[in-house]
Amino acid sequence: MSTEPHQLDDPKLFFNRELSLLEFNARVLAQSLDESVPLLERLRFLTICSTNLDEFFEIRVAGLKQQVDLGLPLQGPDGLSAQECLQRIEKVARNLVREQYRVLNEQILPALDHEGIRVLRRGSWSGRQKRWIRAFFNAEVSPVLTPMGIDPGHPFPRVLNKGLGFLVTIEGQDAFDRESGVAILQVPRSLPRLIRLPSRLVDGKDEFVLLSSIIHEHVELLFPGLTASGCFQFRVTRNSDLWVDEEEVDNLLQAVKGELASRRFGEAVRLEVADNCSEEMAGFLLRNVGLGPDDLYRVHGPVNLHRLAAMYDLIDRPDLKFPPYLPGVQRSLSGQKDLFEVIRRGDALLHHPYESFAPVVNLIQQAAVDPNVLAIKLTVYRTDEDSPLVEALLEGARAGKEVTAVVELRARFDEAHNIDLATRLQEAGANVVYGIVGHKAHAKMLLIVRREGRGLRRYVHLGTGNYHAGTARVYTDLGLLTASRKIGRDVHRVFGQLTGLGQAENLELMLQSPFTLHGRMLALIENEISAANAGRKARINARMNSLGEPEIIQALYRASQAGVKVDLLVRGICCLRPGVKGVSENIRVRSIIGRYLEHSRVFSFLNGGKPITYCSSADWMQRNFFRRVEVAFPILDEGLRARAVEESLDLGLKDNQLAWELLESGSYRRLEAKAENGFSCQAQLMEMHGGLGGAQGDWRRKELDSDLPVAASDVSKKKRQRRRRDSKKKER
């Protein structure tokens, strides 16, 4: 398509956000078809796609349906109304669901069977297996099931969100002379959905039975003396987005806690049924949950694919999983060293999961017991269960230190956990606040105030990801440890906003949403445009999870028109249309999908030959710029800045194994190279920073074909140059 320069708000230049998110899930699903990925990992990618799609319906589709019900004429930059968007979603989502089950039945299950791993269907059970399964049903399943007949005295029950259910058609007359008809059976979440058969019944193989198969086989036992003429799995997905009028409540914690129960019974948005369910029975379910024919999805297999993910942990087959990886630890941060002294000597950059999250935990643990530490402040958006980081905060609070936690109660699907965390911290004597009304506290900040000599010094950790040791092993994120006085003052001011009252103070080095981040990003893009118009070199490289803010996209279009080369690594949603003649032919967009979830946000600008690089907690989305408290921080040390750019941006742009390229049409094309020319940015970083399949005590840099700088304190510029010369000699 061709568009004039003054038409940069043309809806044709913007992809729809929801459809772009479905495109991302299609890329995740494609991993389950990749035979270079270990088999059980392929199964995990399949179940991740299913879980993502569940959340898509719970939040995105639910929101669109609410817009339609309320008659809101809202349109996005792409020009689609909510109704039009729902119509397109239905078509794409239906194809995605169909492909999920095709992959399961035609690819994953046969491949597992070839490896001696089987999910047994009812017709394949041996006599001994049947007897064991019947005994299991009678002892472990039947006692906790509650079938509910549907009649005037027993109306259709409230069906739990995403719960496994059965619609059973019954023939015969019961003890009260009632003519039977239909019963609903909801399966409690306390029952495991995947059951491993005892070793004595499987001849050394890994064989499993789905709980749904066990119930289906024995459902007639739940209706003594009657005949079950039909038994059909179903699952209802409901609106799960909590809504709290923050300006009208007196206690946000109590309000969120009160809303959590409603999540299980929100408005229905999708009905899934087994493909053997008759039109009559499917219609019966649709009417009773308040949905129409367009909301019905028939599936050829279990209605919740996510339940198959349990197989990954139940099967001890390392050959079918990614090789174990032990994250590296930089020499300066390893062992029992005084981390305060280390950070005073110079900034440190951590790249997770390739480098361990342990130094961050160790820093808080040291602060908790250090008599010179006076205060510890931390933002908590998501953290893991039984987090050692949280235990350190509790220890510090009990020791009398000024511990402050900004806990975001509205972190979607982590609300209950964060409520529990806030309660524990308060009971230990910590100050707990819930951020700013109307703005989620999404910034990732740690501030430690320590008495040294005659004054106080601030130590800071800033990150692109959450304070969650679990996700730090599977999400790619950057973290900065610094004792910079300017950054320390900036972080102090942001915490002051989050916990107190007052006007927003100007920050010296950092950027903050909703005040300066959006404007500064636009200004930096305009700087590159001016440089290009003046005939100077100009370049923009950026990496994020999602890109959708219209003003930023239009600015990038103007940059492309000026001749600025723009390279973007956008893992998920991307509303920018690249490759449009006269508008965006200088913009390249890639998405990396691999072993680790790409989560870093890094923005780099050539800036007239004085490169500037920010890392951030924020994506380039409207919510991040205007409805959240976010921070972006510069990497000041030149060696660390070069390393951040190389590892987070340049390597991803070289990748031809995990990378997908966004086309002008809105679809993605996977980049595939011959084996001898293949390059995976994730494999490269694993080689550089850790060890594949073995323990590695200290951080070490492995020399490959890359010339990445490490921390400036470890390797000087001269040493790097000497290594390059030696490497070239070896190649010759």
Active centre residues (catalytic): 442
Specify whether the CB–CB gap between 212 and 147 falls below 8 A: no
Specify whether the CB–CB gap between 557 and 8 falls below 8 A: yes
Dist. CA 288–CA 81, nearest whole Å? 28
Provide the edge-to-edge strand list for the sheet that holds 296-299: 146-149, 182-186, 165-171, 227-238, 268-274, 296-299
For residue 84, the one-letter residue type is E
For residue 423, the one-letter residue type is T
Q: How many CB atoms lie within 10 A of CB 91?
A: 11
Encode 138-181 in three state secondary structure.
HHHHHHHCEEEECECCECCCCCCCCCCEEEEEEECECCCCCECC
Specify whether the CB–CB gap between 542 and 604 falls below 8 A: yes
Dist. CA 193–CA 176, nearest whole Å? 34
Helix (H) or strand (E) holding 659: strand 659-662
Q: How many CB atoms lie within 10 A of CB 332?
A: 20
Looking at the DSSP bridge assignments, the partners of residue 237 are 270
E-strand stretches of 330-454: 348-352, 373-380, 402-407, 431-433, 440-441, 445-452
DSSP string over 405-426: EEE-TTSTT-HHHHHHHHHHHH
| 479: nearest Cα among 620, 368, 352 | 352
Specify whether the CB–CB gap between 576 and 1 falls below 8 A: no
Cα dihedral sign for 500, 506, 508, 510? Answer: positive
Counting every residue written for the chain, the total comes to 732
Residue 582 falls in which region: left (phi positive, over 0), alpha (psi -120 to 50) or beta? left
Phi, psi at 71, each rounded to 5°: 70, 30
For residue 64, the one-letter residue type is L
Specify whether the CB–CB gap between 200 and 259 falls below 8 A: no
* Terminal C-alpha separation, the chain: 48
